Structure 1
Amino acid sequence: MQGGVGERFLCLIEELACEAELRELDPVGEPGQRAGAVRGEVTGLPVRPGPGQQPDHRLGLALRTLRRRAGLNLPDAVGRLGLSGPSALSKIENGKQRVPSAALDKYFDAYGVEDAQRMAEIRKLASLASSPRRTNLFNQYRDAVRDPFADYLELEELATHADWYAVQLIPGLLQTPEYAHAVVDGSGKWRTAREVRTFVELRMKRQQVLRRENSLSLWCVLDEAALRRKIGGAQIMTGQLHHLLSITEELPGVEIQVLPFSAGVHAGIDGAFTVFRFDAGDPLAVVEPLTTALYLEEDVHVGRYEVAFNHLRARALDIAASRDFISELIKEEV
């Protein structure tokens, strides 16, 4: 086998081996697509941990993205960085091994990064990753919240913007206490009345992200089904609809559009999803099927949900027409 061809062949084999290692670390199957353990808005079912929302994993993903955009495979990048081998870099890119902030310049040089804003974002991610923490909410509700859901709380607190498409239920960040109690109690996933009350209280505390300094901005497309489903009865539903109108008046960072049944088939027909954006790092999509939550990190996956959300916004009623639609539903309830 000739030298150049043989060298490229060996690099290819090593790259494939490292990709296999990535899949082993990431059991869902594709790098960057992770099943997260989240007590969901609908199911409340805990499943295995999804590390993708943590700052150290998002830092690793950002470094992997830089490498791929530089056109480098793992062995080539390892040579430029002076690491011990491809497995060492794969651990870094999967958040299994932390990169000191002081070492970032070496990565920027190796990958030819000149974008000052991008470098600043990655430095901020490194700073977050070097100071692991649990949210205040986790500390307050330690007995009721498992670690994986604490990860989700941290994701929600770190985000600066969320695009949220809701199908069956009003999103938790927009729920009234009465509506939230009806949802949590009706799910059948909580054993005692105390657990129901505790989780509802936590859900209400989560809404502080919409009212804090540097608050989370939220753009929500609500399927008509979520507005017509009588959760808890007519009185509770009427209160919830009034709340949707009042919160958009009170909080300029919250926008709601209604996707009516008349829109027909649309880009969100497969179900609800959320796209989170951050000051530091790339956006992340969360998809919640029946028994799990998937964190999608790769550009190609997140991009599809960003496009889908833009299509949903285009098909939905505009802001003013959506308010009128909700007001008419209130009249129907009364």
Structure 2
Amino acid sequence: MADAKPTLMRRRLGLALRALRQRSALSLQEAAERLGMSGPPVLSKIENGKMRVQPAALDGYFTTYGVADERRKGEIRTLARMASSSRSANLFNQYRGAVRDPFADYLELEEVATHADWYASQLVPGLLQTPDYALAVVEGSGKWHTAREVRTFVELRMQRQQVLRRERPLEMWCILDEAALRRQMGGARVMAEQLRHLLETAEEVAGVNVQVLPFSTGAHTGIDGAFTVFRFDAGDPLVVVESLTTSQYLEEDAHVGRYDVTFNHLRARALDTVPSRDFIHKLIKEEA
């Protein structure tokens, strides 16, 4: 097993294996010996997400830790499959010059998640952007210094959208604040094209739902800003909150529960999907 940079999913798998070991009342030393490892440091790296675990090796852990529950075994195997996902790593390596290391975790989340609840307060989410809209957003952000970096990051954003059209697509429920739809990014033509793309995606791509939160809603539970709740086949949901310089990955039940409640309140107050389409159609006419 080779050393590896910890990722969110690899850390989750490591924590799950640690929990199994602790329930079996085995020390690192005892468990490492029974698993045939060279010593406790190897197992410690695995439990901290710093070393890959081959799915074929999981049966050895189950036997050593006395795991008989088939449901729990299935959850662990699913975590291992998610932790070994390679597409996000390939994307990150391909576009490494335009993105920072922490973004690799975000790419991994989009790749392994099965569902995402998205509240967008200022901008259309990257997975729903057109190339011209994305170009206007990236150029305007001031985060990239050369035209090449800008083009590369826009290309990556377009590549990321494949998760909505893969064999098992990422399901996406998106609540868009009216501000995100009215903010002029790239001019009237670009905005009209972006709004039409939103409608087409919601109509053509299974699992993509769009609701509009109009200004007339007034104060609401999402007033503090945008966030995304990712859900998975195994493991608890995770919340991503992006700020100017970093992204926060929230996994504690109290945090996730608060954002779940917030999203449900927003969904209840937003226009339903059909009135939302009518609202966007109206905005397109205004852009004409």
TM-score range, shorter chain: 0.7 to 0.9
Displacement of 1:133 in angstroms is 7.4
Displacement of 1:238 in angstroms is 1.0
> Which position in structure 1 is the counterpart of 2:117?
163
Work out the CA distance in 2 between the residues paired with 1:316 and 1:257.
6
Task: Write out aligned runs for 1:29-178 (5 A).
Answer: 53=8, 55-62=9-16, 77=22, 80-84=25-29, 94-96=48-50, 101-105=58-62, 109=66, 114=69, 116-129=70-83, 135-178=89-132
Map Cα deviations across residues 24-65 of structure 1 (whole Å, 9 max, x no partner): xxxxxxxxxxxxxxxxxxxxxxxxxx9562x2211134457x
- Asked if 2 retains the 8 angstrom alpha-carbon contact of 1:165 and 1:272, the reply is yes
> Which position in structure 2 is the counterpart of 1:279?
233
- Asked if 1 retains the 8 angstrom alpha-carbon contact of 2:173 and 2:209, the reply is yes
Identity percentage of aligned residues = 68
CA gap of 1:106–1:289, structure 2 versus 1, over 3 A, is farther
CA RMSD of aligned residues (A): 2.8
> Which position in structure 2 is the counterpart of 1:16?
none
CA gap of 1:332–1:165, structure 2 versus 1, over 3 A, is same
- Asked if 2 retains the 8 angstrom alpha-carbon contact of 1:221 and 1:256, the reply is yes
Displacement of 1:252 in angstroms is 1.8
CA gap of 1:236–1:117, structure 2 versus 1, over 3 A, is same
Displacement of 1:125 in angstroms is 1.5
- Asked if 2 retains the 8 angstrom alpha-carbon contact of 1:78 and 1:84, the reply is no
> Which position in structure 1 is the counterpart of 2:257?
303
Displacement of 1:139 in angstroms is 3.6
SS at match of 1:317: coil
- Asked if 2 retains the 8 angstrom alpha-carbon contact of 1:121 and 1:280, the reply is yes
Q: TM-score, normalised by structure 1?
A: 0.72
SS at match of 1:143: helix
> Which position in structure 2 is the counterpart of 1:181?
135
Work out the CA distance in 1 between the residues paired with 2:221 and 2:6.
28
Map Cα deviations across residues 95-124 of structure 1 (whole Å, 9 max, x no partner): 3466652354268748xx84x434312122
- Asked if 2 retains the 8 angstrom alpha-carbon contact of 1:52 and 1:295, the reply is no
- Asked if 1 retains the 8 angstrom alpha-carbon contact of 2:117 and 2:172, the reply is yes
- Asked if 2 retains the 8 angstrom alpha-carbon contact of 1:62 and 1:282, the reply is no
Work out the CA distance in 2 between the residues paired with 1:307 and 1:323.
25
Structure 2: which 5+ runs fail to align?
Answer: 31-39
Work out the CA distance in 2 between the residues paired with 1:271 and 1:90.
38
Structure 1: which 5+ runs fail to align?
Answer: 1-49, 68-73
Work out the CA distance in 1 between the residues paired with 2:181 and 2:273.
15
Q: 1:261 aligns with which of 208, 215, 232?
A: 215
Moved more, 306-315 or 95-104: 95-104
Q: 2:166 aligns with which of 204, 208, 212?
A: 212
> Which position in structure 2 is the counterpart of 1:221?
175
User: Which amino acid letter does the alignment assign opposite residue 270 of structure 1?
Assistant: D
Q: Which has the higher contact order (CA 8 A, sep 6+)?
A: 1
Work out the CA distance in 2 between the residues paired with 1:290 and 1:93.
32
- Asked if 2 retains the 8 angstrom alpha-carbon contact of 1:273 and 1:287, the reply is yes
SS at match of 1:310: helix
> Which position in structure 2 is the counterpart of 1:14?
none
Work out the CA distance in 2 between the residues paired with 1:139 and 1:169.
26
Displacement of 1:257 in angstroms is 0.4
Map Cα deviations across residues 258-299 of structure 1 (whole Å, 9 max, x no partner): 111122222211111111112232221111122210011122
Work out the CA distance in 2 between the residues paired with 1:318 and 1:232.
28
SS at match of 2:202: helix
> Which position in structure 2 is the counterpart of 1:192?
146
CA gap of 1:277–1:151, structure 2 versus 1, over 3 A, is same
Work out the CA distance in 2 between the residues paired with 1:310 and 1:51.
32
Displacement of 1:311 in angstroms is 1.2
SS at match of 1:196: helix
Work out the CA distance in 2 between the residues paired with 1:170 and 1:244.
9
SS at match of 1:189: coil
